[in-house]
Amino acid sequence: MSLIRLDKFLADAGQGTRSEVKIKLKQCRVRVNDEVVKKPEIKINPDTDKVSIDGKELVFEEFQYYMLNKPAGVVSATKDDRDKTVIELIGEDKRRDLFPVGRLDKDTEGLLIITNDGALANSLLAPGKHVDKCYFARIDGRVTEDTVKSFENGLDIGDEKLTAPATLIIEESGEESLVRIIITEGRYHQVKRMFEAVGMKVTYLKRLSMGSLCLDSSLGIGEYRKLTEHELDLLKKSK
């Protein structure tokens, strides 16, 4: 890996903004290879130099990948004047360039990938890629085999094109129905609009998987963790 400035290394490692990092340097809290370093412009090699702050060694990760169980009430954005964002849910030592891969509606829960890897995000979201997304939904209305067929055939949700074939699995059918739905596109409010197109309303929506990557069922609502190497491989294979 090439040499990078110490202040950038520290900021990327989640140690604050460049100016916050400069203060920490002035306070003699940073060591490079066990020597106190105060100059922000010093160049280091993240592969070979050992950098620590307050005695804690920092490991350089060019890219970070988190799985978040998004709660309702937060927006899938990096900044928002009114609402809390999904990035604010990620705690200490986060890189400053994280963003969510795609969007879930404010009231949708479930699997959301948070990363700073723009290339991976672009390839997962590219319109031609058709990565499967599976959702659990509660529906106000009776979902029947006819509904399943309409979803399979594609629906007019007011866009230029019909929706691509979607798989609907009925778990319970009644005045309120419980379903799983697998879509391959990522249109705005897609699942809600598909049910509206057949005269029903989604009252609860949760994303369960994206490609081969499933939401960890032990993550509580609002909790997150780093992806394992295996999960990252699964995600990369989905693109």
Which of 15, 108, 116, 163 touches ligand URA (CB under 6 A)? Answer: 108
Closest CB to ligand URA among residues 104, 139: 104
Closest CB to ligand URA among residues 29, 193: 193
Catalytic-labelled residue, pool 49, 80, 97, 105: 105
Which of 61, 88, 97, 105 touches ligand URA (CB under 6 A)? Answer: 105
E-only strand ranges, the chain? 4-5, 30-32, 35-36, 43-44, 51-53, 56-57, 65-70, 99-100, 109-115, 133-140, 167-172, 176-183, 201-210, 213-214, 224-226
Token match 């954005």: residue? 77
Q: Show the binding pattern over residues 170-189: x = contacts ligand URA (CB under 6 A), - = does not.
A: -------------------x
* By CB under 6 A, residue 138 contacts ligand URA: no
Distance CA 189, CA 148 (A): 19
Rg (CA), the chain: 22
* By CB under 6 A, residue 206 contacts ligand URA: no
SS3 175: coil
Question: In the structure encoding, which two tokens stand for residue 149, read together?
Answer: 């067929």
Question: Is residue 117 annotated as a catalytic residue, yes or no?
Answer: no
Which of 24, 70, 192, 206 touches ligand URA (CB under 6 A)? Answer: 192
Q: Kindly list the residues in this chain that would bind ligand URA in the complex (CB under 6 A).
A: 104-105, 108, 189-192, 205
